[in-house]
Amino acid sequence: MAKSQGNMMTLMRLIRAAAVLGGLFSVAMVLIVGDHSSLLMIGLALIFCAWAAAPFWFAYARAPHVASSQSASILLLVATIAAVALSVFAYWMTFIDNPKPDAQDGLVLLFVPLYQIGGLGIVVMLANWLSKILK
Higher pLDDT, 39 or 103: 39
Mean pLDDT of 126-133: 87
Whether the CB-CB separation of 39 and 13 falls below 8 Å is answered with no
Number of domains in the chain: 1
Domain containing 56 — which CATH number? Answer: 1.20.120
Whether the CB-CB separation of 8 and 70 falls below 8 Å is answered with yes
Whether the CB-CB separation of 74 and 135 falls below 8 Å is answered with no
Mean pLDDT of 80-107: 90
- What is the C-alpha to C-alpha distance for residues 33 and 96, in angstroms, rounded to an integer? 9
Mean pLDDT of 105-115: 93
pLDDT in tens, 2-30: 566 778 889 999 999 999 999 999 999 99
- What is the C-alpha to C-alpha distance for residues 39 and 106, in angstroms, rounded to an integer? 19
pTM flag (> 0.95): no
34 — phi, psi (to 5°)? -70, 160
pLDDT-derived band at 104, boundaries 50, 70, 90: confident
Contacts of 120 (CB under 8 A, 6+ apart): 55, 58, 59, 62, 79, 80, 83
pLDDT of residue 3: 62
Alpha-helical (H) ranges within 1-135 are: 2-33, 39-62, 70-91, 108-133
pLDDT in tens, 50-76: 999 999 999 999 988 887 888 889 999
Whether the CB-CB separation of 22 and 76 falls below 8 Å is answered with no
pLDDT of residue 65: 85
**Domain housing 34:** 2-133
